[in-house]
Amino acid sequence: MARKKVGRRENSSGQIVKDGKFFRARLEIGQDARTGKPVYKTARCKSRDEAVDALATMITESGIGIEQPTERGNFGQYLDQWLLNTVKPTKRPNTYRQYEWLVRSHIKPHLGSKQTNKVTRTDVQKLLSAKATQTIAPRDKEKKNESDQTLSTNTLRLIHACLHAAFEEAKRHSLTSKNPADDVSIPRRAKDAKKQFLTPEETTKFIEKLDKSDLADLFAFLIATGTRLGEASAIRWKDLDFTVPNRPVVWIRGQLQRVDKKLVYVQGTKTNQERCLPLSEPIAKRITAIQNKRLVSDVKDPDGIVFLNSENRRLDPKHVGSRLKELCKKAGIPAISPHKLRHTAATLALAETGDLHGVQKMLGHSQVSLTSDLYGHATAETLRSLTNAIDKALRPVKATKEADKD
């Protein structure tokens, strides 16, 4: 059976190919001395994720692209090689770009000139402490006149995670004997007072003006399902199941990511877990209307993507963000990002049902603790009915005691 190439990497950092029902990780480890042809190390796996892990292991064991410590600048050089030869072949494009940004903007300026085996836990702690107080200019052009902001706690966690992963790889290559990012504390910051979701009143105004936007169907889908923008913009017709009457569902199976300046469908979610979400009747009707329009206009996306822009092209995140801000202005509510529609969906769902585990499954969080940490404000509101119930139960007791006093 012919093999389908599903992932190719630069230099000698390997590739993953589809081999029938299986995936094969392949890494060039040298050349045949007699023929001069490349020699490969391979591993046959049941899934793409297993193949990614197998490729990472082969790269680690072969030591390809990892240089030994030099007199100066060795950690910075190591990080560049680690990004190219370990992160890029095994992580999704968006994850690689994020790691590259963290290394370039936050880690190398502080630790790049040190030798890898000379970086200490104190160095890492000082880096995170410095980043906790670092100010950054607002990204939004409309907020340029506002005071500078500090890095978020989430960014601090990402810096730490990136450092930890880099040092774990360095340990495997004996470039350092321990991981200095172990047992490092993330500096505490005052909680961001900026609201991360729409109130029910703001949501009502938003829905009333929804059809004023050419991306109304996408925005309605986002706020109804709590999906990430990359997931929603990657929904394909084959991910929808309308076969059971009055019980339409959508499978969240992939993401739309930018690869080599092109928006590409990438299989798998952020947590590598598919999830099935029920669709409300209004959302199902919107999707059916899109399908009917496509049949008339004969518009076809190579992967069968459902949500496209007015020119029938794939949705660029920046374009979506701009359109959302325009819609918020028309609705007379604070401008929000697409991700805040996800926060809004989660907040409304929790406030209405109190089902923390259900919301976790809807959002695709790997742990319920993450859902609880992010939406504690809504969780507290769900407990209000319990508090009121206790108060109601205690009223006869209070009334009896007051009567005894009289």
Asked if 244 and 238 count as a contact pair (C-beta separation under 8 A), the reply is no
The reported pLDDT for the residue numbered 8 is 41
Asked if 287 and 316 count as a contact pair (C-beta separation under 8 A), the reply is no
Mean pLDDT of the chain: 81
Asked if 141 and 149 count as a contact pair (C-beta separation under 8 A), the reply is no
The reported pLDDT for the residue numbered 71 is 42
Section 159-184 average pLDDT:
91
The reported pLDDT for the residue numbered 259 is 84
Structure tokens at 253: 């199976």
Could you tell me which of 54, 50, 70, 74 has the C-alpha nearest to residue 62?
A: 54
The reported pLDDT for the residue numbered 63 is 55
256 — pLDDT class (breaks 50, 70, 90): very high
Residue predicted with more confidence, 127 or 271: 127
Record the pTM.
0.62
Kind and range of the H or E element at 175? none
The reported pLDDT for the residue numbered 401 is 52
The reported pLDDT for the residue numbered 145 is 46
The per-residue DSSP string of 138-172 comes to -SSGGGTTSPPEEPPHHHHHHHHHHHHHHHHHHHH
Residue predicted with more confidence, 152 or 263: 263
The reported pLDDT for the residue numbered 349 is 83
Q: Which of 139-153, 158-172, 328-342 has the lowest mean pLDDT?
A: 139-153
**Highest averaged pLDDT of the listed ranges 70-79, 193-202, 249-258, 267-276:** 249-258
Output phi, psi for 158, to 5 deg: -65, -40
Section 352-372 average pLDDT:
78
Helices (H), 63-107: 74-82, 88-90, 93-102
The reported pLDDT for the residue numbered 50 is 82
The reported pLDDT for the residue numbered 276 is 92
Question: What's the half-sphere exposure (Cβ side, CA atoms, 13 Å) at 330?
Answer: 15
- The C-alpha atoms of residue 55 and residue 26 are separated, in whole angstroms, by 7
The reported pLDDT for the residue numbered 360 is 84
The reported pLDDT for the residue numbered 90 is 83
- For 304-334, what is each residue's pLDDT tens digit? 999 999 999 999 999 999 999 999 999 999 9
- For 111-152, what is each residue's pLDDT tens digit? 998 999 999 999 999 999 999 888 776 555 555 444 457 788
The reported pLDDT for the residue numbered 193 is 46
- For 83-112, what is each residue's pLDDT tens digit? 998 898 888 888 899 999 999 999 999 999
- For 23-66, what is each residue's pLDDT tens digit? 888 887 666 656 667 777 888 888 887 888 788 777 766 655 55
The reported pLDDT for the residue numbered 385 is 59
Asked if 266 and 256 count as a contact pair (C-beta separation under 8 A), the reply is yes
The reported pLDDT for the residue numbered 72 is 45
**Highest averaged pLDDT of the listed ranges 248-252, 260-264, 342-346, 384-388:** 248-252
Section 219-236 average pLDDT:
93
Residue 383: pLDDT above 70? no
- Which three-class secondary structure state does DSSP give residue 256? strand
What is the sign, positive or negative, of the torsion defined by CA atoms of 179, 182, 185, 187? positive
